[in-house]
Amino acid sequence: MYMIKKRCLSGLVVLGWSCACCSLVSGQDNKQLSPSDSLKLQIGTVKLDSIFQIKASQVNPVEIKKQSLLPYTSLQQYLKGNNTGLYVTEPSGEPGTKQPMYFRGVSRPLLSDIDVFQNQPLVVVDGIPLVGEHPFAYAVQTYDLERIGPATNLFANINIDMVKSIEVLKDVAAMAMYGPNAANGAIVVQTKEPKADKTNRIAVNMYTGLAQRPQVTTINGEYENKFRKQFYDLYTSNGRYDDGDSYPVYLSDSLNMNYFGKSDWSDSYYNNGLVYNLNANLSGGGPRANFQFAAGSTQDKGVAEKVKLNKYYALFGLNMRPLTWLTFSMQANISRLDRNRNLNMRDRFAQLAYFPDLSAPLSPNKEVYNEYLSYYKKGFDNNKTNVVQGYGKLQLDFGNFHFLTTGMVDYNEGYRDQFYHSKLMESNNFASNYYGYNQRAIFENKAYYDWKIDAKNNLNLLIGNSLQWDTYRYNYAYAYKGVNDFIKVNLLEDDMNASNYLEATAYPKALIFKFLDRIRHNLVSFYGRANYNYDKKVDVSLLLRTDGSSNAQPDARWIFTPSLSANWNIKNSYFISNNSLKDLTARFSIGRIGVSNVFDDFAQGPNYVAQMGFTGNQLIAGYNAIAGLVRPYESGWVGYNIPWAYTDQGNLGLDYAVEKKNFHVSLDVYMKQTKNQLINIPSYSEYGYKSSYMAGMDVQNTGVELTVGLDPIQSDRFKWSTALNVSHNQNKLKALPNGLEQLVMGNSLLEVGKSLDQYWLLSNTGIYKTDAEVPKGMTYNSIQLHAGDPIWKDQNGDNRIDDSDRTLQGHRLPLLFGNWFNNFVLGKWDLGINMYYNIGRELINQEMATRFDFINNEGAKKLDAIKEITYWEKRGDYSKYPLYNPWSSVIPYQADQDLFLENASFLKIRAITLGYDLTSLLGGRQQRIQRAYAYVSANNVATITSYSGVDPEIVDYTGYDIGSKMQIPRIYTLGIKVDF
């Protein structure tokens, strides 16, 4: 069962290197090995980082074994709920989409996808800090929905079947080894290493399964008419549809079978999806040289609109020790991700920045809907992502002195080519092309000396430096109104100077828009670390680090960040003879990590931008193909005196474990404060600027994390192991620039002393049934309230409702989250059950707000007015909402009121796995089979919640449930895993 370990800081996890100071295998005790002893064992067992024992939250080894069998396609899906302190979101069931993570709360308010990016933790795979995506592409988008390009989840390339351990670093001294990259936490993934026993090993894992389409209740125009008729009966004379406001044409004719006939669209929209995985791993060699090769393919197919993600991956690793003092290691990991995206109109129109006539929605009739879908087939939307990661390491070992030099690279590139037929956009076709890449190269050197002072005192010294070069770039172009639907050109590759083909023949010159951008970031780091151990009772570690960033301003280029951690093994100090006590350790850490700027323009001070938004886009590089630069009036003034932001964190922890029933508890209490952050605040309006970037925003996160494990039954025949983890986090805004106490950002209010993730809402207490019930002179934004309007609470008693009466309510992020894992073993059978929960989280049911606000949304050219085909699906509980006057100028069904705020706490039975050990059955016929295991699984089995929406989990960072996100499917799989 899950063992609490003191984990080494494996910042340099190398394929084929085993940890010299601890074992990550359940049931083994940590054993400190001297470098000289380790060299006698196998290749490279001395790892410079592994000398330092740092507490981490490790994924339950039993769960890793179980989850490697499940049809998860991203690292985030494996991590969800399995680590205290790490909150993973899955805002869509569409395969390959982004899945943000938050480590110990949020360090800044989530006002846009750019803020979401700046809250993401670092992911390290086999020692390589991955570069990930960059949010600068959002600057050319009018709507903050999907990043331009393929927007594929880059962590979907990690092959979980090859993973040996996944650890979330908690100790600030552990995170500090990765510098500013790990300011929001670090997740360390170590792959399996080859066996150094001169025996070739082959492992095969395969499964196939079905993603089950959901069962839904469809509606048609007759149902919608009945819903709207109750409003007309109340608020129009004689209940006539033609009074008060024009009635939509598509609902006016009950003989129109396109809307009043069969509502069978779900047969074309939803589908059962095939999922499969085939992964093989070959390893071999001996103590002086070993290798590993793995390859595989995975398909994850969704349950709607034929969405799917296909993955192809290969890994090769090699370790050699030609001399007793020289070790060489290298690894390359290559992946390809192909994604079929959704056909949502909301996503398409947001990307096109063009709204056609929305007066008639999609028909619920299957034949009509299929005709609409046929026009997609006359175009294309190709999304491809290539990922390459690798390293080369050279280690020199001379007695107690060791030196390691490492070169690492992480590169990913994405392509998206689109063409939409003119029938989809009022006779205007559309084409776009995207190519972009993100690249990180690191050169690192480390020197280590192990000084054994005497039998009880040991001092380890480490010094190092690293050079990091990051580059992000994209080329993007789109065009409207091609001459016909058969010329589908590549806007990026065609040479406009050599030919006037695009301007004269394919697309009008004025309707071709091209964008290119590049951001670079260089980081130089120097650090030293000392670790002192006294008689296996006390460990003290001190890290001193300085980092220089090219994105910092010249007068604040460097930042110095110290950190200190200490472990006190109370068992070894006072209870060493107590055999029933397995572990009793107290932990303490405190330190600072720098937070580097994401954008390089802050390093320049005042600057010009390509910002001429005459088309309505946020960023246009010129007018009529003529480039132009202007001051950043729209995006905000950038000035001087911008310091480094940084995160201070303190942690207290206690680990307790006893032999009886393998009972263990791990408790952590922490405080994290991120200071000097930049935020764009309204200012300099007299000079034409909308806002300016200023430093001085401070955010504090405090929390408690608890893990409890127990083996209630451990007989020879039947075993039961259980583990529960609980995480609680509370964030608070501590300061704003210039001493501000409040700041309104869109529909959000930031208030010093309050949480960042709260909604800014009006409090709804009912409905005015008659004009006499309305207090005399009561207004909403200077509009007189009448019968049929909401009763909004007048918080300040000034007899008028406005923004001053909005209050902070609810929380977008859960107050408690975690999982409960159970594993049962009966003979050769085993059963695993994983349950995931969120408690204390609220959502705004915007889908219901939009449904009831049909007057303001009918035919309007805005995102909220778009009716996807799922508009013809019965959702929600209509009886919860009063019948307001939808024609009222106060917009009674606006989403920003607590009428639509719902408790979104839930408990999910996330996975059930049943397996059988076939080894003994096959071993008699084929002795080379070391283990054979067959299994079946069910995923996303059931959700227990009071939330009236589709699923409380599929909502993005805004907390507003728009209802158009694809559902997380229930998946059934059958598989087998064989080790030769």
State in Å, rounded, how far the first CA of the chain is from the last one: 25
Give percent above pLDDT 70 in the chain. Answer: 88
pLDDT tier at 173 (50, 70, 90 boundaries)?
confident
Backbone conformation region of residue 741, classed left if phi is above 0, alpha if psi is from -120 to 50, else beta = alpha
Q: What pLDDT sits at residue 673?
A: 97
Predicted model pTM? 0.91
List of residues 6+ apart from 709 with CB closer than 8 A: 1, 2, 4, 662, 663, 664, 665, 721, 722, 723, 724
The tens digit of pLDDT for each residue in 783-801 reads 999 999 999 999 999 999 9
Q: What pLDDT sits at residue 462?
A: 95
The highest-confidence range among 245-259, 345-359, 603-617, 751-765, by mean pLDDT, is 751-765
Q: What pLDDT sits at residue 242?
A: 56
Q: What pLDDT sits at residue 288?
A: 86
| Number of Cα atoms under 13 Å in the Cβ half of residue 895 | 21
pLDDT tier at 489 (50, 70, 90 boundaries)?
confident
Mean pLDDT value of segment 874-893: 95
The tens digit of pLDDT for each residue in 614-634 reads 555 555 555 555 667 778 887
pLDDT for residue 16 is more than 50: no
pLDDT for residue 243 is more than 70: no
- What's the helix, strand, coil split of the chain in %, to 5? 15, 45, 40
Q: What pLDDT sits at residue 118?
A: 94
Q: What pLDDT sits at residue 980?
A: 82
Contact 689/637 with Cβ under 8 angstroms? Answer: yes
pLDDT for residue 32 is more than 70: no
Sheet strands side by side (includes 6-8): 6-8, 53-58, 163-169, 186-191, 122-125, 128-129
CA distance 729 to 281: 40
Strands (E) located in 116-156: 122-125, 128-129
Classify burial at 639, counting beta carbons within 10 Å of its beta carbon; exposed 0-12, middle 13-18, buried 19 or more: middle
CA distance 121 to 136: 18
pLDDT for residue 41 is more than 80: no
pLDDT tier at 491 (50, 70, 90 boundaries)?
confident
pLDDT for residue 460 is more than 80: yes
CB atoms under 10 Å from CB of 424, counted, come to 20
Contact 358/349 with Cβ under 8 angstroms? Answer: no
Contact 77/97 with Cβ under 8 angstroms? Answer: no
pLDDT for residue 287 is more than 90: no
The tens digit of pLDDT for each residue in 318-328 reads 999 999 999 99
Q: What pLDDT sits at residue 26?
A: 29
pLDDT for residue 200 is more than 50: yes
Mean pLDDT score of the chain: 88
Q: What pLDDT sits at residue 198?
A: 64
pLDDT for residue 68 is more than 80: no
Question: Which domains does the chain possess?
Answer: 64-216+269-605+640-728+758-762+812-979 (2.40.170.20), 221-261 (no CATH), 764-805 (no CATH)
pLDDT tier at 24 (50, 70, 90 boundaries)?
very low
At residue 832, φ and ψ (nearest 5 deg) are -115, 135
pLDDT for residue 36 is more than 60: no
Q: If we measure between CA atoms, which residue out of 679, 919, 887 comes closest to residue 787?
A: 887
Mean pLDDT value of segment 468-489: 91
Q: What pLDDT sits at residue 17?
A: 29
Q: What pLDDT sits at residue 624?
A: 58
CA distance 59 to 821: 11
Strands (E) located in 904-979: 906-917, 931-945, 970-979
pLDDT for residue 466 is more than 60: yes
Classify burial at 292, counting beta carbons within 10 Å of its beta carbon; exposed 0-12, middle 13-18, buried 19 or more: buried
Per-residue HEC secondary structure of 684-713 comes to CHHHCCCEEEEEEEEEEEEEEEEEEEEEEE
pLDDT tier at 612 (50, 70, 90 boundaries)?
low
The tens digit of pLDDT for each residue in 676-720 reads 999 999 988 888 888 999 999 999 999 999 999 999 998 989 999
List of residues 6+ apart from 605 with CB closer than 8 A: 553, 638, 639, 640
CA distance 432 to 482: 12
Mean pLDDT value of segment 441-463: 95
pLDDT tier at 196 (50, 70, 90 boundaries)?
low
Mean pLDDT value of segment 268-281: 95
Q: What pLDDT sits at residue 93?
A: 94
653 Cα distance to chain centroid? 27
Contact 513/430 with Cβ under 8 angstroms? Answer: no
Q: What pLDDT sits at residue 627?
A: 63
pLDDT for residue 6 is more than 90: no
CA distance 836 to 956: 18
The tens digit of pLDDT for each residue in 571-584 reads 999 999 999 999 99
